[in-house]
Amino acid sequence: MKSAENILAQKGIRPTAMRLLILEYLQEQPAASGLSALEDAFDHADRVTIYRTLKTFEENGVVHKIIDGSDEAKYAVCFEDCDESHHNDMHAHFKCKACHETFCLPDAVRLPLFPAGFRVDEISFIASGVCPRCKS
Ligand SMILES: [Zn+2]
Ligand SMILES: [Zn+2]
Ligand SMILES: [Zn+2]
């Protein structure tokens, strides 16, 4: 995995301490994180700063937003080659009913290709069930 510093440099985002911390945190998570989880993890930072950081990341193709049907959006680091004009996160997500975590499934499940002429800007495919960790 690329370092947080490399990713920010590559996307042309100024690497402030807060941005580096949040990106490193997101890289370490096995599942996607919501704003409230980030607030808990960075209780010295204010909510607006965290939110703006996520927005900057999202707008520059660093993280993608996942709408999983819970009351807040979740964010996960992009695996695909995303940039400021377009996200290519055409992977499915999995929401665990036991731990309520939402995981990216980057390799396991690919979404169908769309017919020529359709440009997909946003897509949401959420499978729900029990994750391997909760199953045992
Ligand atoms: Zn993306
Ligand atoms: Zn689980
Ligand atoms: Zn994802």
Q: What's the pLDDT tens digit per position in 41-50?
A: 999 899 999 9
For 76-101, write each residue's pLDDT tens digit. 999 877 888 788 787 889 999 999 99
- Give me the pLDDT at residue 110, please: 66
- Give me the pLDDT at residue 25, please: 97
pTM of the full structure? 0.87
Distance between Cα 17 and ligand 1 center (Å): 22
Residue 17 and residue 5 in contact, taking contact as beta carbons nearer than 8 Å: no
- Give me the pLDDT at residue 85, please: 78
Identify the sign of the CA torsion 74, 77, 10, 18. positive
Distance between Cα 34 and ligand 2 center (Å): 16
Distance between Cα 15 and ligand 3 center (Å): 23
Which residues are placed with Cβ below 5 angstroms of ligand 1, an ion? 64, 78, 82, 87, 89
For 10-37, write each residue's pLDDT tens digit. 999 999 999 999 999 999 999 999 999 9
